[in-house]
Amino acid sequence: MAVLEKGTWYPNKEANNLSYEDSFELPKAAEQGRYHLYMSFACPFAHRPYLVINYLGLNNAITVSSVAAKRYSDGWLFDDFNVDPLYSSQNLVELYQRENPNYTGRVTVPVLWDKQEHTIVGNDSSSIAMELATKWLPLAKNKVELVPNSLREEIEKLNEWLHLNVNRKVYHVGFATAQAEYDQASDTLFDAMGQLDRRLNQTCYLHGSNITLSDLFLLPILVRFEAVYEVHFKANKEPLKNFENLYRYMLDLLSQESIRKTIDIEYMKQHYYFSHKHINPYGIVPAGPAISW
């Protein structure tokens, strides 16, 4: 984990060792052109709000940019291909320090930035995605209710379950440092995958016949599974293709151009295989595997 503590950068300090962590208050209302989303094409959590923006057609209401693929000890960087369009920062740490020179907390993507007040207004992917899917809907070109009122409680409940059993769990598998820890995390992850596969035997999407926010929380993990998680994280108890309903569901979502264009497999591979030196010490990025879709 990389954190700032009272404005000082610690590349290898756990957030739970901090005495406190600064928090941010999301905008009370949507506003055309006021906000910018900093994200990473590698991060499945940052992928959530980016998917909402693209699927709903909020691209003219909120600007978006990505950090660089390769991550070093000084954290998320910008480079010649992925620049900071607002301040020409060299890295994300600078952005957090610009917001608050004495900031304490994790330096993560996504970051929702207020271009008017020059400040961070959110860095929790789940909350940002929910806000964009609900409060920002009047500004969307594609006014699809990703969180219908009748399903909101179910969506929030499933999203939390996905976060604990799939989204975070695949990292517990990949970052395990003991066999028992790996085995337990792997069993939990693949049990959850089995449950999702059976659920999708009955419905087209997670909550029926229409795409909801839950689908945009699950998809970021699925599209990284074959190229990264099965190899780099050893999440290979079963190949993703074995879950036939889950795989069909992923391909169905990818058939939509607004969703597909948010995915950059080569960028993802550059990030994971280069940046996680504790797993892949020489930073060698594999040529494969070939992805059929």
Q: Is residue 288 part of a domain?
A: no
Contacts of 61 (CB under 8 A, 6+ apart): 30, 32, 33, 136, 139, 140
Residue 283: predicted pLDDT: 96
Q: Is residue 121 part of a domain?
A: yes
Say yes or no: 48 and 83 in one domain. yes
From CA 120, how far away is CA 26, in angstroms rounded? 9
Say yes or no: 133 and 158 in one domain. no
CA distance readout (Å), 147 to 120, 133, 200, 279? 25, 7, 19, 38
CATH number of the domain that 97 lies in?
A: 3.40.30.10
Q: Is residue 270 part of a domain?
A: no
CA distance readout (Å), 189 to 66, 157, 174, 184, 261? 28, 18, 11, 9, 27
Q: Total domain count for the chain? A: 2
From CA 82, how far away is CA 42, in angstroms rounded? 13
Say yes or no: 71 and 168 in one domain. no
pTM of the complete model: 0.97
**Residue 86: strand, helix, or coil:** coil
Say yes or no: 98 and 124 in one domain. yes
From CA 109, how far away is CA 123, in angstroms rounded? 7
Say yes or no: 7 and 135 in one domain. yes
Residue 262: predicted pLDDT: 98
Whether the CB-CB separation of 9 and 74 falls below 8 Å is answered with yes
Say yes or no: 83 and 161 in one domain. no
Q: Split the chain (293 residues) into runs of 10 and give each run's mean pLDDT.
A: 92 89 94 98 98 98 98 94 98 96 96 98 98 98 98 98 98 98 98 98 97 98 98 98 98 98 98 96 96 93
Residue 14: predicted pLDDT: 87
Residue 1: predicted pLDDT: 76
Residue 12: predicted pLDDT: 85
Last residue of a domain, one of 139, 164, 182: 139
Residue 277: predicted pLDDT: 93
Active-site residue (options: 43, 267, 272, 273): 43
Residue 208 lies in domain: 149-255
From CA 110, how far away is CA 122, in angstroms rounded? 8
Query: Is 204 assigned a catalytic role?
Result: no
C-alpha 35 chain-centroid distance: 19
Q: CB atoms < 10 A from the CB of 164, how many?
A: 12
Residue 291: predicted pLDDT: 93
Say yes or no: 37 and 133 in one domain. yes
Query: Is 43 assigned a catalytic role?
Result: yes
Residue 173: predicted pLDDT: 98
Q: Is residue 267 part of a domain?
A: no
From CA 95, how far away is CA 88, in angstroms rounded? 10
